[in-house]
Amino acid sequence: MPQSFRFAERQPLSDTEVSPVKGELTSGEWTFRDARHRGFVLEAGRGRVKVSDGEVPFIAPCLLWLPAGANVRLLLEAGSRGTSIAASEVALAGAIPVGPVAGQMRAALGQPMIHARLDIRQARRLADTLEAIAEEARSELPAAQESLRHLLALFLIATWRLSGPVLRETKPLPRTIVQRFLHAVELHLREHWTIARYAQEVGVTPDRLNATVRRTTGGSPLALIHARFVHEADALLDDSSLQIAEIAEELGFSDPAYFSRFYKRLTGRSPNRQRQEIERKSNRGSFAAWP
């Protein structure tokens, strides 16, 4: 390693090592041959990463990630300044969070990455995280290893986010699908959405929505929507003085005649007949109906 460029004040962190990067008068070049992953947060300077198919230049502030085993060489020009971290595979395995994104993080961190679009505040936050790791290692406080693991996790998550991951939502459970569907029906009933539109809102295909709702409730999504329309229409026929045309408009039907046919097809009686039946039952139980 050239003497004009050094990684100074190394702090042992079991499987992890943090070092300030200090440039002096001339450029330096490194090939890392040990089995550790390396990250560099550069706040000043410039350089190049040599990979098998060419060179990639970078200018600080930037983040570099060089995974273990990658055939790369790092060149830093004089005056470059920042912080570096070297972490073993064991350290990464202990720090990568468990969950749906773990596989994506491992895949991203297994490739060389140069993120050259940092602003100085982003670079400072990343450097602060690395400096916190070094400070925690020196403190000898209780639970230091647990703290170091969490700090390393924060750095790895930030690095992964900067790689531009495409988040893949886990498939929702059947109960979640039905709950989302019923909630969407309550919100959008009067808009007369198609089943495909409801499926899009829920985040599944129409076929899966149909199969899940049938298996869970015993009825199709369309049947549940129609039942909800009838329930709303009955409430308006019973509790309001709205005309049939006004009820149809309230429920999002542009044609009152179509609404009447729709209601009769589902209930076996017209809206007018339903309202007369409601009034008859109401009068039967009132004082006015007494002899």
Residue 24's pLDDT is 64
Secondary structure (3-state) at 38:
strand
At 6, the pLDDT band (50, 70, 90 cuts) reads very low
Lowest mean pLDDT among 61-65, 68-72, 283-287: 283-287
Note the Cα 104 to chain centre separation in Å. 12
At 248, the pLDDT band (50, 70, 90 cuts) reads very high
Strands (E) located in 79-225: 81-88, 113-115
Out of 75-79, 111-115, 231-235, the most confident range is 231-235
Say yes or no to pLDDT of 230 above 50.
yes
At 145, the pLDDT band (50, 70, 90 cuts) reads confident
| C-beta atoms surrounding 161 within 10 Å | 13
Give the residue among 26, 153, 161 at the shortest CA–CA distance from 95.
153
Place of tokens 């060389």: 112
Q: Which residue has the higher pLDDT, 227 or 22?
A: 227
As a whole number, mean pLDDT of residues 270-280 equals: 88
Sheet holding 46-51, edge to edge: 28-30, 73-76, 46-51, 54-59
Residue 52's pLDDT is 67
Which structural domains are found in the chain, ordered by start?
A: 5-162 (2.60.120.280), 174-282 (1.10.10.60)
Lowest mean pLDDT among 167-171, 221-225, 245-249, 251-255: 167-171
Give the residue among 64, 85, 65 at the shortest CA–CA distance from 17.
85
Identify residue 67 by its one-letter amino acid code. P
Residue 284's pLDDT is 60
Of the chain, the percentage scoring pLDDT greater than 70 comes to 87
Residues 6+ apart with CB under 8 A from 8: 19, 20, 22
Residue 8's pLDDT is 38
Of the chain, the percentage scoring pLDDT greater than 90 comes to 44
**pTM (two decimals):** 0.54
Phi-psi region of 83 (alpha: psi -120 to 50; beta: other; left: phi over 0): beta
At 13, the pLDDT band (50, 70, 90 cuts) reads very low
Cα–Cα dist 230/251, whole Å: 10
